[in-house]
Each structure stands twice: as structure tokens, then as C-alpha cells.
Structure 1
Amino acid sequence: MPQVQTYGTPVGEAQALCVFLHGRGQSTADMVDMVCGRLDAPGVHFILPKSPRPAWYDAKAVDPLTGEATAQLEEGLQIVRGLMDEAREAADGRPLLIGGFSQGACMTTEYLMRGGKADAAIALTGCRVGAVQDDLPQANLSGLPIYATDSDDDPWIPLWAFQKSVHDFAKGGARLRMDIVPGREHGVADCEIAALSEMLRDVMSGTAPFGGTT
């Protein structure tokens, strides 16, 4: 079982649960500092797993998928699936979200594209895992609210790769908000935190995010 930290409202009192995945070389504490602890959305219980190695997978996200990279990706996704199953049972009908930053956002994207279920998703500076020529799976997302972001010059997630993941989300029928933050370094800007806080408050209140209708 992975090492797991929790943050936010205790699970029994929470209005929503969220499994949130860290980036390459990061810790669960980094996610508290960078994202969870900055949000204005009381009522969320965050579940923060640690990857079994310094990264969820060793390759760059846009590298061609090798046998080793595929095996490492699947190992990480198995951990995520298990945590989501446990969280869904604990949620007992309350909204359950999946999300992550950087490599964690890539993991979130591949979880969804391989049939993983959630009530909403967060992909902060992520993309599909694999090269353009790889035959990557496509899921039916059927109105799933997804908040996806990137910078216009991020050193880890090229804008074209982010745009491909957004295209795949849209092709799957997701309800999307996409923000590209000019000049932002590899991190999470205040405007992203504000938008994510609003999304979480909408999810907890039963309001469709991004101005949609339920």
C-alpha cells in the first residue's frame, strides 16, 4: 500500500473527497503547500498518496511509450484505482474528485482515459503520457467537469502536449474549463487556485461547475 497523507476537513465531516497526486520528485507535503493549503474551499477531504519511487514513472510524459514506461505507468494507475475505490466507499454518495499537479496531472489524465471514474477532475499542468505516434486510449467522459491548466512556456509540459490532452477531454465529452497562464513558471498561480476553489465550492453545493446546468 502507498504512503498516504490526508489534509483538510476530516472525512466524516467533509462535503467532498479528492485524491490528489504529486508531481515528479515531489512529496505529499509539497501538494499541501502548492495547492491544497491555498484553496478557499472548506469542506474537502484530500487524500495525498506518495508514489512508490521518486516519480510515478521515469520517462518524460511526451516520450514514446516503452515497455518499462508502460509498466511503471500501470503500476501507478493501479495504486490510484485502489485509492479511488477506497475513497468512493468512504464518500458514501458524496462527490469524489481526482486531481494532480504536473506528473500527477498526467496520471489523472491517464486514469480518466483508461476508464477511471470520478465526479470531477483537476489537471494542473499535465498532458497525455506518450508520444504523438502512440495509440493512446480514449474514454467517454460524458459531461465530466475537468479543470485543466498550463503555462504558455512550461519547461516540463509543452503547450502542444497540453492542448492535445484538452482535445482528448473535449472529444470524450467532458465539461471543460481550460486556463493557459502566460509567463507562469512550473507551479500553480493564484488565478488557478481561485478558479479551482470556485470549482470545488460548486461541486460541494451541487452546482454544475463552469456555468453549466445540472
Structure 2
Amino acid sequence: MYTHQKDIMTAGVPIADAKKAVIFIHGRGASAADILSLNDHLQIDDAALFAPQATHHSWYPYSFLAPVMENQPALDSALALLKILVAELKNAGIPQEKIYFVGFSQGACLVLEYITRNAGKYGGAVAFTGGLIGKELNMQNYKGDFKKTPVLITTGDPDPHVPVSRVEVSEGIMKKMNANVTVKIYPGRLHTISKTEIELAKKLVF
């Protein structure tokens, strides 16, 4: 089993000049460069961009629906890496309510798990095909108030990795914690990010 090295790719506005920051989290088998290229489509041009690289190109070894212990210590290491990155952004003068998250697939699951374990006012979060992590969800992990943080969660129906049922459960938990959640389910959509989802993210979150 593995833990993650701190290996973060940056792009966009230099942090010293930025008013906001966006953290991009890649999917299984992908890279920081892959997920950063998503900004060619999102076109967020007023932010410092950060994309951590997972060791072995995977944030945790098994499905996000596996028992949490099976994905340890990689999962806790990934969550800790995000916590360090958020703290560094705050120290650099970016307030938490100006920090945004974007993830795809395994990265989308990690985004949702991180912000729900560390609920507060963020700029917003986009989970392109994701849900909260674990065979059973431990409600003790999820505390705090999102203070109307906008969150977009999308998935296909059916999706080979992320069932609609888990997206809906995640939506319910986050709404109870005062997140402003929008869920979009696309019948027959492949495991990818569509132009429609990009446009929706631009409208609802950025």
C-alpha cells in the first residue's frame, strides 16, 4: 500500500497576484497535467490553479464503494495532502471562500469526501461523476456547515463506476449540511465530461 508524495502542478495566475484558487483532482490512471487541461474548456482565467499528482496515478487502490479500510492508508494520505494544500493557499492570502475544487471520477469522489469532512464556506466544488467514499458512509466524519457553498455533482446513468444511488445519498448528506447542491444525471452518457457539464459548471460554480 502507498501514501502520496507532495507533487503539485501549478498554472494560471501566480498565487501572489490571485484573488482565488482552484484545486483540480485527477481521476484514476490520469495525471495532474490531464486534469489541468480541463481549464482549456472551463476557461477560469482569474485564478491560481493547482493539481496534485497521485502516487501511482491513483488516489486509492480500490473502488470508492469498497470498505474504507481496504483503501487505506492511501485514502487518508490523499485527504491529508488536500488539507495541507488548502492550508498553504490560505497562508498565501487566499481566503477559504475563494478556494474552488474540480474533480473527475476518482478525483470527484475525493473532492466530495474532503469538503464534506471539512465543511465550511468554499468558493464552490464540481464533482464530474463522483460520490462520497466508502461501502458504508460514516456520518461521524461529516460535520460542519457549508454556508450555501455551491456544489455540482454529475454522473451518467448507468455509469460503470459511480451509481446514481450514491450520488443521491451524497447530495442528501451535503444538503443537510447547508450546501447548495445541484445534481445532473445524464442517461446513457459515457464515463467522460461532456460540454453540457462544462457549461453548467461555469454557470453554477465559477
Instruction: Give me the TM-score of the superposition, normalised by structure 1.
Output: 0.84
Can you give the 5+ residue segments of structure 2 that lack an aligned partner in the other structure?
A: none
* Residues 103 and 51 of structure 1: CA distance in aligned 2, closer, same or farther (over 3 Å): same
Could you say if the C-alpha distance between residues 96 and 42 of structure 1 is closer, same or farther in structure 2, counting changes exceeding 3 Å? Answer: same
Please state if 1:50 is matched with 2:59: no
Aligned-residue offset at 1:24: 0.8
Return the alpha-carbon distance in structure 2 between the equivalents of residues 15 and 142 of structure 1.
20
Cα deviation for residue 97 of structure 1 reads: 1.2
Aligned to 2:176: 171
- RMSD (Å) for aligned C-alpha atoms: 1.9
Letter in 2 for 1:70: Q
Against the structure 1 CA distance between its residues 198 and 158, is the aligned structure 2 distance closer, same or farther, given a 3 Å change threshold? same
SS at match of 1:12: helix
SS in 1 for 2:15: coil
Partner of 1:181: 186
Name the amino acid aligned to 1:31: I
Alpha-carbon offset, residue 32 of structure 1:
2.6
Q: Residue 62 of structure 2 aligns with which residue? A: 59
Of 164-173 and 112-121, the range deviating more from structure 2: 112-121
CA contact (8 A) 1:41 1:200 kept: no
Q: What are the within-5 Å matches in structure 2 for residues 49-198 of structure 1? A: 49-66=52-69, 68-93=70-95, 95-115=98-118, 117=120, 118-131=122-135, 133-136=136-139, 137-140=141-144, 141-198=146-203
The reply to whether residue 6 of structure 1 matches residue 4 of structure 2 is: no
Gaps of 5+ in 1: 202-214
Secondary structure class of the residue paired with 1:113: helix
Count how many residue pairs are aligned between Structure 1 and Structure 2. Answer: 198
3-state SS, counterpart of residue 24 of structure 2: strand
Inter-CA distance 105–37: structure 2 relative to 1 (3 Å threshold): same
Please report how far the alpha carbon of residue 200 of structure 1 lies from its aligned counterpart in structure 2 after TM superposition. Answer: 4.5
List per-residue Cα deviations over 1:91-126 (Å, max 9, x = no partner).
444711123111111111111222255332221111
Code of the aligned partner of 1:17: A
Quickly say closer, same or farther: Cα 1:171–1:29, change in 2 above 3 A: same
Bigger Cα displacement from structure 2, 56-65 vs 83-92: 83-92
Deviation at 1:7, TM superposition (A): 2.2
- Give CA-to-partner distance per residue, 1:117-166, whole Å, 9 cap, x none: 533222111111111x4434222323221111111121111111111111
* Percent identical: 27
- Paired position in structure 2 for 1:206: none
| Cα separation, 1, equivalents of 2:194 and 2:109 | 18
Residue in structure 2 matched with residue 32 of structure 1 by the alignment? 36
- In the alignment, is the contact (CA less than 8 A) between 2:119 and 2:142 conserved in 1? no
**Cα distance in structure 1, aligned partners of 2:176 and 2:205:** 24
Check conservation: 2:151, 2:205, Cα contact below 8 A: no
TM-score, scaled to structure 2: 0.87
